[in-house]
Structure 1
Amino acid sequence: MARQLQLIRAIARPRPKIPGQGILDPSVTTLRVRPADLDIYLHVNNGAYLPMMDVARTHYIGDLGGFPALRERRWYPVVAAQTVTYRRSLTLGQRFEITTRVVGWDERVVYLEQVFTRGDDLCARGLVAGRFLTRGTGERVPAPQVAELLDPGSTSPEIPADVAGWAQAIDVAHRV
C-alpha cells in the first residue's frame, strides 16, 4: 500500500522536467527498502519490485516533462508485459537506485530497461513492454507518436537482441 501511495503522489505531483532530457536518456530514482517491501525471508519480495518499477517509470515521464502533453491528449501508459531477473537481495533500510531507460520502440510498444543497483552491485533487471492508451476510448496510441510527443525528432535505436527476442517470445512485438 505504501508504494501505491508513493505512485499516486508521483503522478499527482510529478518531478520537474530535467532540461535537455531526451527519451533515450536514463532517469534515476532513489528509494529505500521499507518493512512492507519484505517477505518472510526479510528481503524484498519479488512482487514488491513491480510497484517500485511503476514509481520509477512515473519519475521517468516527469523527468521528460511529459505529463502535461499526455494529459492534454488523454494518453496514459500501461504495462503490456514485464519480466524481472534477480541477482542480489535488497534488505530493510537499504538505499538503492532504479535506472530507467527506453531501449527502443516499434509500431506498438515502447521497451524499457529498469536496473536496480545498490552501489556497484546489480540487484535486479527488469524489462518492460509499455503501451499508451487513450482515456475514455481505450484506443491504442502508436509508440512512435508517443516518442515524437515526448522527444520531437527522436528515432528508435535498434532494439537490443535480448529485448527483441523476449518481445517476440511473449508476442508483444509489432507484427509485420
Structure 2
Amino acid sequence: MSRMIQLTLATLRPRRAVPGQDLLDPSVTHLRVRPGDLDLYRHTNNGVYLQYLDIGRSNYLADLGAYGRLAARGWYPVVAASTMTYRRSLTLGQRFTVTTRVLGWDARVVYLEQVVERGGHLAARGWLAGRFLSRAGDRIAPADVVEVIDGTRRESPALPDDVAAWARAVDVAHR
C-alpha cells in the first residue's frame, strides 16, 4: 500500500480518539519502512519522511477526535512551512515511530514538532507551521481551531526560542 493510500485511509477512516487526550499531549504513530519508501541507496528517501509526518498529523487529529468537528465546519489543515533535520537512516523493514506534538500557535499558524525515532534513537525531526482553511478558501484563526478541537478558548504556550526564530526566518510568524 502506498503512503498516499495510507494517508487517505488515516484521514477518511481515522483511528479512534484517545480518551482524555489533550491538545498539547503527544500523539505517537507506529510505522514500518516499506520497499516503496526507499531510494537507490536503499534507505528511506527524504521526501518520504514528509509523508510519514503527514500520517502522524492525521493520527494526531484522530487521537483528539477532531475530524468530525472540523469537517462539520468545512475546515482542513495545510502545511505553510516545514524544516527537516535528518540524523540516522531508516532501512527496509525497520519499525519506527512518529511523535507529533503541538508547540503553540499565533494569530496565523499552529507550530508542531514531529520526531521520527527508531529504537529510542532520533532519525529525523521536523518543525512545521500549519494553517487551517475553509472549503471557501478562507484562513481560519488558530485560536478558533483550538476552541473547536478543545472545547474551550485557551492561550498558546510560549514557543521555544529556536522555533520562534525559525518561524520569523521562514516568514510564517505573526507580524
Into which bin does the TM-score normalised by the smaller protein fall? over 0.9
CA deviation map 1:62-98 (0-9, x unaligned): 0000000000100000000101100011000000000
Q: What residue in structure 1 maps to residue 142 of structure 2?
A: 143
Q: What residue in structure 2 maps to residue 161 of structure 1?
A: 161
Q: 1:148 offset after TM fit, Å?
A: 1.2
Q: Which amino acid aligns with 2:27?
A: S
Q: Which aligned pairs between 1:23-34 and structure 2 lie closer than 5 A?
A: 23-34=23-34
Q: 1:12 offset after TM fit, Å?
A: 1.1
**Aligned equivalents of 1:63 and 1:97: distance in 2?**
15
Q: 1:124 offset after TM fit, Å?
A: 0.3
Secondary structure at the residue paired with 2:36?
Answer: helix
Q: Which aligned pairs between 1:7-156 and structure 2 lie closer than 5 A?
A: 7-135=7-135, 137-153=136-152, 154-156=154-156
Secondary structure at the residue paired with 1:167?
Answer: helix
**Aligned equivalents of 1:55 and 1:155: distance in 2?**
27
Q: Which runs of 5+ in 2 are unaligned?
A: none
Secondary structure at the residue paired with 2:117?
Answer: strand
**How many pairs does the alignment contain?**
174
**Aligned equivalents of 1:67 and 1:148: distance in 2?**
14
**Aligned equivalents of 1:114 and 1:58: distance in 2?**
12
* Greater displacement, 93-102 / 10-19: 10-19
Q: Which runs of 5+ in 1 are unaligned?
A: none
Q: Which amino acid aligns with 1:96?
A: F
TM-score (norm 2): 0.97
Secondary structure at the residue paired with 2:124?
Answer: strand
CA deviation map 1:37-72 (0-9, x unaligned): 111111101011011110110000000000000001
Q: 1:119 offset after TM fit, Å?
A: 1.4
**Aligned equivalents of 1:168 and 1:68: distance in 2?**
33
Q: Which amino acid aligns with 2:138?
A: E
Secondary structure at the residue paired with 2:16?
Answer: coil
Q: Which amino acid aligns with 1:143?
A: P
**Aligned equivalents of 1:155 and 1:16: distance in 2?**
27
**Aligned equivalents of 1:129 and 1:56: distance in 2?**
15
Secondary structure at the residue paired with 1:69?
Answer: helix
Secondary structure at the residue paired with 1:96?
Answer: strand
CA RMSD of aligned residues (A): 0.9
TM-score (norm 1): 0.97
Could you tell me the percent identity over the aligned residues?
A: 61
**Aligned equivalents of 1:22 and 1:120: distance in 2?**
24
Q: 1:152 offset after TM fit, Å?
A: 2.7
